């Protein structure tokens, strides 16, 4: 459907919450899920992924939560999608480079042209930073 996944949207909402809040502020997954009406469990996993990837810092235990580690201008949309959905912002099915992922790999006439479009989209998403979404 050529659309961001909900997880990515939830991640963006959360990241923006950190970015517009007081610098270094700590928020819990519960606070954010309450504030934006996002399913807690799902948001929790998204934040965990962002933490594992080094975008957020996680603080365990009572009075724990998350805080932003990277600067908003260092976090690109491409990175966020990559972290949360485990994939590059992918437009074309034949984004892969081998014959395994597409049965008509060698006879496909649109693979190369779409690859070019792919790269342009990638570059675009790399240049859209969290800073620009505030």
- Helix (H) / strand (E) element for 68: namely strand 65-68
13, 53, 59, 128: which one binds DNA (CB under 7 A): 59
Judged by beta carbon distances under 5 to 8 A according to partner kind, the member of a copy of itself, DNA, none in contact with residue 23 is: none
Name 112's Cβ contacts closer than 8 Å, sequence gap at least 6.
none
**Spatial distance between the Cα atoms of 134 and 131, rounded to a whole number of angstroms:** 6
Is residue 61 classed as helix, strand or coil in its secondary structure?
coil
**Where on the chain is the footprint of a copy of itself (CB under 8 A)?**
1-6, 9, 12-13, 16-17, 20, 35-38, 77, 81, 85, 87, 89-93, 103-104, 107-110, 113-114, 117, 120-121, 124, 128, 132-134
Specify whether the CB–CB gap between 34 and 50 falls below 8 A.
Answer: no
| Chain residues in the site for DNA (CB under 7 A) | 1, 5-7, 28-30, 39-42, 44-45, 47-48, 51-52, 58-66, 85
């Amino acid at each position: 459907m050529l659309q961001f996944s909900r997880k990515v949207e939830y991640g963006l909402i959360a990241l923006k919450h950190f970015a517009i809040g007081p610098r270094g502020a700590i928020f819990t997954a519960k606070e954010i899920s309450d504030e934006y009406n996002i399913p807690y469990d799902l948001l929790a996993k998204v934040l965990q992924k962002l933490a594992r990837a080094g975008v957020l810092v996680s603080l365990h235990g009572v009075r724990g939560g998350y805080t932003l580690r990277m600067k908003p201008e260092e976090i690109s949309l491409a990175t966020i999608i990559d972290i949360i959905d485990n994939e590059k912002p992918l437009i074309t099915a034949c984004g892969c480079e081998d014959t395994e992922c597409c049965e008509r790999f060698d006879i496909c006439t649109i693979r190369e042209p779409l690859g070019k479009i792919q790269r342009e989209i990638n570059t675009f998403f790399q240049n859209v930073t969290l800073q620009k979404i505030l």
